[in-house]
Amino acid sequence: MPVQANELPAIFESFGDARKAGFLKMKALKDEGVGVVGTFCVYTPLEVFMAGGLVPVGLCSTSDETIAEAEKTLPRNLCPLIKASYGFAVTDKCPYMYFSDLVVGETTCDGKKKMYELLGRIKDVHVLNLPQNQNGASRLMWKEEIKKLAEKVEGRFGVKISEGDLKEAIKIKNQERALLKEFYELSKLTPPPMTGLQQLQVLFGAQFKFDMPAKLSELRKTIDDIKKSYEEGNRPVPIEAKRIVITGCPIGGATEKVVKAIEESGGVVVAFENCTGAKQFDRRVNEESDPYEALTDHYLNVGCSVMTPDQNRLELLGRLCKEFKADGVVEMVLQACHTYAIETFQIREFLNDKGVPFISLETDYSAGDFGQLKTRAGAFIETL
């Protein structure tokens, strides 16, 4: 039985509309003289910007609207996330890119690295040199990269980032992490109190709410309202819906079609391992140690296919499967994302050893393959 697309509570709509609503709020911040930093990746230490009194915002585009324009410069057989992000920059169709005083990239893949060179022609771009493994030498390198980022921010915006400022930013960001983790862990309940699409709306939309105290308050209310509704007997998801964990590339916007394909086929997404979900919020930064040491340890240990080996992704994925009682795992891989595509083999082996059914779905930002995705997702769910 498919998960019913029941009328969303207002609180989900608030987060679902956050990206569009945030355009005007960001303009207001700019008018007040607040500096804005655009980012692309969960490896980027947002606390550095917060400590400088700046507002960070995610720039990864999740629509194919400007890909044709990007392909005038970039090759067609490139990851759609890279093409879309560059396309929105060169067409000035992304207000967040337009309002960003500084854009911070990272060397997570070769395609991004070369795209940042082109982006640097129209924006002030700073690139973090991310190590490719998480050993001792890499840790020293990453700590220096974070310090260089702080120096760049100080010089670009004329601010001073003290250790006290960093510690305060870490505490505030940890509060957000804790609330978002508490929110998505509500789906450990059987049946879960929300659909995967509703969960994704909050996880994806939270990054576009820029008033931190108001956001923390709204997240607290969201959690409490969902708990209250569940205790009153409201069950938006059928108990027989198969519980799915999603892993792989960043998901949101156009790639929500994967969630819809699953949930229209008798499944319900209970957890997102990827960048939009648990990967970002599962752990907190150590608030007691030196802030640069703490940020180094926290961000370098993100589990991602760009790391060799990638044990942290396996650890988190295995734990999510157990804690959320997963009936199966669906991996979403964007076309031309080579590191995730290659790592599919290891993920399948890992889950097979644990007896967890697995399927990998490759897609892009177009809507044309939704029928195919739904057919494959439906066939997979029928086997569970």
Average confidence score pLDDT of the chain:
95
How far is Cα 114 from Cα 100, in angstroms, rounded to an integer? 20
CA 218 – CA 14 distance, rounded (Å): 9
CA distance 187 to 73: 43
User: Tens of pLDDT along 122-176?
Assistant: 999 999 999 999 998 999 999 999 999 999 999 999 999 999 999 999 999 999 9
- Cis check for the bond before 309: say yes or no (omega within 30 of 0): yes
Q: What is the rounded CA–CA span in Å between residue 126 and residue 245?
A: 34
Q: What are the per-10-residue average pLDDT scores of the chain (384 residues)?
A: 50 77 90 96 98 94 92 96 95 92 97 97 98 94 98 98 98 98 98 97 94 97 94 95 97 94 98 96 98 98 97 98 98 97 98 98 96 98 98
Instruction: Decide: helix, strand or coil at residue 138.
Output: helix
Question: What per-residue confidence (pLDDT) applies to 15?
Answer: 79
% of the chain surpassing 90 pLDDT: 91
Which residues 6+ apart lie within 8 Å of 6 measured at CB? 236
> What pLDDT sits at residue 8?
45
Instruction: Choose among 65, 66, 150, 74: nearest CA to 110.
Output: 74
Instruction: Pinpoint the alpha helices (H) of the chain.
Output: 10-16, 18-31, 46-51, 67-70, 80-90, 95-99, 110-119, 136-157, 163-184, 196-205, 212-231, 256-263, 278-281, 291-300, 311-323, 338-354, 370-382
Left if phi > 0, otherwise alpha if psi is -120 to 50, otherwise beta: which for 248?
left
pLDDT value for 203: 96
Going by C-alpha positions, the residue among 198, 272, 225 that lies closest to residue 13 is 198
DSSP string covering 225-256: HHHHHHHTT--SS-TTSEEEEEEES---GGGH
| pLDDT score, position 377 | 98
**Domains in the chain, CATH or no CATH each:** 12-164 (3.40.50.11890), 172-382 (3.40.50.11900)
CA dist 167 and 47 (Å) reads 9
Q: How many angstroms separate the CA atoms of 216 and 206, rounded?
A: 10
